[in-house]
Amino acid sequence: MRNFLRRAGYGASADRGTRSADITADVPADLHQRAADTGCPERAAGHGEAARPSAPHPADVPLAGPALRRAAAEFIRLHHGEAHRGDPAPRIAQVCTEIAATGTYRHTHDELVFGARLAWRNAARCIGRLYWRSLRVVDRRELTAAGDVAAASADHLREAVSDGRRIRPLITVFAPDAPGRPGPRIWNEQLIRYAGYPRPGGGVVGDPRNVGLTAFARGLGWPGGRGSPFDVLPLVIQGADEVPHWFRLPSDAVLEVPIQHPDHAWWADLDLRWHAVPALACMCLEIGGVCYPAAPFNGWYMGTEIGARNLADSDRYDLLPRVAERLGLDTASDRSLWKDRALVELNRAVLHSFDLAGVTMSDHHTESRRFLTHLGREESKGRAVGADWSWIVPPLSGSTTPVFHRTYDTVERHPAYVHHPEALARTRGECGDAEALDASV
């Protein structure tokens, strides 16, 4: 089965003597909660790859003073109530004393695990929350330097893949923001992203979504990849020195699946592939008023995220015209439904390829039913479930899924995974000029 898997860099030439940053680290396997290999903590089907949120979110600045004390007390009461830990008053008093002395407070390991899992449970745009309790939490709050964060991020990608194929929900939490001591930041939207190279005459080779970060990384000294549509971007990480550095992801941390079609042999000529671990890296994990700006987390892909968004969107890989042409469809008029027919075949190919490779992937019909199971479980416990209909309904055949025929409460709850405007700007490489640094570990 491994013959169907490709690791980034396999069969590629050496780095030609450029100043790269291959990441290695001696980080032990997660000794914390063992969890079932289930779930998708990051988002609704396809929408992790959709347009960035337009609604404003809190500034990239931590809470302080009374606001922090209120947020901390609210979280501690929630933790003690749901975990049956007894009277929260002593812990609240301890936290308030710590905030008065230092301007912030430190979560216990149990609080960190509970907060990260609740942030998934509260994610209104995620359809895959049925297994929120299965999220494995790796506590790396001692890490602040860019090189250490890069090494641990590569370990995250390795740890997220079990037995070479099965994907498990995982979050790695790095140092939080504190007064006068900002935590590290990962500029990449996801730990694995493909570069986008503008063509001189127009258009883009690779992923147009990542043109800005690609240019920024090259300004830092990254020499670029082979110039293919699927060159893996380096990690761009801002550590304690507050200067971004670039780090090449090692090939054994990037699991990729070639996209084949179950019926059409010519599909191989398209030379498509996609990475297996969707590790979102630009969102802040906010727990009880404390912001963890670097906390990459992943579940597994839903097929539509790749087949109906990444590879199909006109501002991404825009493959529907090419697929339709090879299928011999009439593209002269939208009334032929050529886009719909090409989209279905593209999604069939994605699901078939991940199944063939033995790599975990869900489909939108199954995940929709699971979401309704999640709703039922939460309602039976007296907990309302916040959900954004426009993100929960899959981007393919939405009306054929049970989540389509409902309305939802869209209220946002905390703990939460939050998109800060500054972080979104960083994913586009829009945070100003940076000194070109050779990042090596």
Catalytic residue numbers read: 126, 129, 300, 305
What is the number of alpha carbons within 13 Å of residue 156 lying toward its C-beta? 32
Q: What is 273-342 written as a DSSP string?
A: EEES---B-S-EEEETTEEES---EE--EEHHIIIIIITTSTTTT--HHHHHHHHT---S-GGG-HHHHH
Count CB-CB contacts under 10 A for residue 390: 13
Q: What is 117-139 written as a DSSP string?
A: HHHHHT-TT-S-GGGGGG-EEEE
For residues 119 and 418, give the distance between their C-alpha atoms in angstroms, rounded to a whole number: 9
Count CB-CB contacts under 10 A for residue 34: 9
* 402-407: long-range pairs with CB below 8 Å, 24+: 402/368, 402/369, 402/372, 403/127, 403/368, 403/371, 403/372
Strands 161-162 and 290-292: unpaired
DSSP class of residue 181 equals B
Count CB-CB contacts under 10 A for residue 365: 15
- Tallying the residues shown for the chain, one arrives at 441
What is the number of alpha carbons within 13 Å of residue 221 lying toward its C-beta? 17
Residue 184 near residue 240, CB atoms below 8 Å: yes
Count CB-CB contacts under 10 A for residue 33: 13
Element (H, E) at 378: helix 364-380
Element (H, E) at 196: strand 196-198
For residues 150 and 172, give the distance between their C-alpha atoms in angstroms, rounded to a whole number: 11
For residues 130 and 1, give the distance between their C-alpha atoms in angstroms, rounded to a whole number: 29
